[in-house]
Amino acid sequence: MAAVRNPSAKRTMISIPTEIITDEILPKLPVNSLARFKCVSKSFNTLISSPEFINIHLQQSLSSSTNRLLILAEENGSDLYSLDIDSPDYDTTVINIPLPHTLDYWLDNGVVSIVGSVNGLLCVGILRYIDGPDEFKQVVINPSTRVFREVPYIDIPILGNAIRVSFGFGYDDINDDYKVVRVVENAIQYDPYQGDELYNREVMVYSLNDNTWKLVEDVHRPIYSLRVRHNGVLMKNHLLHSIFWCLDMYYIYCFDVQSDKWVDEVPLMDLFTDPMADFIEDNEHERVHVVNLGVLDGCLCITVTRAMSNLSDVVWMMKEYGVKESWIKLFEISRCSPCCCKPCCYYFDGPYGFRQGSKQEVLVRRPLKIAGLFWFNIGSEGYGKTEEISGIPVFDQACFFTGSLVPIPGSKLIISPAD
């Protein structure tokens, strides 16, 4: 007699429609998972490598704030680190980012800095200290796919005594080109009693597509002097912002990597007389300094502090880009905790970004020369540290970074010693 099969023992295979996999599941995965899935089949490899999928994955990551890492540059060192700040166990997930061995000449006597990041590409700068003038080298890497391309080295023009150098990294979406911008200012005549009298400003732009540097500006006696505390701050992928100074006043100017030109001045409230600056009403003659320029939640931000008292730092946000009246006082951090009378106890850099899923907690760093990050509750008064992040190496710079599959033209694979 033939055996009778039990229908309940019959396996049921569930088939997921292809479009659900390609349009709904894969774009939400991290880059390291997608790299493994490229080995599943030729069709998966073709799909994940296609420009259309790379763009869909990037837009998904940007809109949902997923695949987000914090990049740290070692203080006075040559190491880069990544930190999954959104992970529950971020205290134990600091990872060293390998740099190509072709840069060993620069890294042996150099200091690494973060020029900027856009669309999952990171531009890293290396300042090499030698007996002569300082030398600057840049490399563009994709830490997620571990590919890189070196930017050709060019000398810094030396025309005077005081030299200021700033860099920026942006994306020209009109020509689908990533660009590095270098701004060099020379004080040709310097009077220690009356200040810098004559400047020369040179602006060079490097195109990743063309692999060449181009001179776009070389002018004498610019109206405003560049005040370099950071590299160019990127907005809308193609607008790089820098702080300039003239006659005790600050200005924000913008360089557009699409046109390779300086464009509009960004309106800034008068930090000396503006009635919105309520933190200086106690002494209207007390000078204030812009100590940081950055981007928070897609909005331009500045951090200002009193020149003399140094009791607190105030962060202002431009809610509507280009509109002076849209500047708001976002929050203030006291430089001393309630239980500490020492000054500069919590002098901070940043803010770097909001906590995932929150608009109340921002990530800032502890004092210079001290390792550590903490979340700050912007709704609190004065001292509002909510959570310290431990296990952070001593770092000089930090920025949020979105992992992506975006390729680099003419790139090579970063090979670590373990490989």
Pairwise pLDDT comparison (204 vs 12), residue with the higher score: 204
Provide the token pair at 254.
């913008």
266 to 181, 199, 275, 323, 324: CA distances (angstroms): 19, 22, 19, 8, 8
Pairwise pLDDT comparison (337 vs 127), residue with the higher score: 127
Provide the token pair at 188.
């040709």
Q: Please compute the mean of the pLDDT values over residues 318-345 and round it to a whole number.
A: 72
- Per-domain residue ranges of the chain: 19-64, 269-383
| Helix, strand and coil in the chain, % to nearest 5 | 15, 40, 45
Q: Please compute the mean of the pLDDT values over residues 109-129 and round it to a whole number.
A: 93
Region of poorest pLDDT, from 21-25, 142-146, 283-287? 283-287
pLDDT at 11 over 60: no
How far is residue 52's CA from residue 405's CA, in Å, rounded to a whole number?
A: 11
pLDDT band at 284; cut points 50, 70, 90? very low
How far is residue 121's CA from residue 178's CA, in Å, rounded to a whole number?
A: 9
Tell me the per-residue pLDDT of 174-202, one tens digit each, with 9 for 90 and over: 999 999 999 998 877 755 555 556 778 89
In the prediction, which pLDDT does 281 show?
A: 47
Tell me the per-residue pLDDT of 344-364, one tens digit each, with 9 for 90 and over: 444 456 788 898 888 888 988
In the prediction, which pLDDT does 344 show?
A: 44
Tally Cβ neighbours within 10 Å of residue 319. 13
Burial 88-98 (b: 16+ CB within 10 A, else e): eebeeebeebb
How far is residue 403's CA from residue 145's CA, in Å, rounded to a whole number?
A: 9
Residue 411 near residue 76, CB atoms below 8 Å: no
How far is residue 70's CA from residue 132's CA, in Å, rounded to a whole number?
A: 34
E strands, 23-109, where?
68-74, 80-83, 95-97
Residue 263 near residue 256, CB atoms below 8 Å: yes
In the prediction, which pLDDT does 3 show?
A: 53
On average, the pLDDT of the chain sits at 81
Phi-psi region of 298 (alpha: psi -120 to 50; beta: other; left: phi over 0): left
Q: Which of 271, 185, 180 is nearest to 227 (CA)?
A: 185
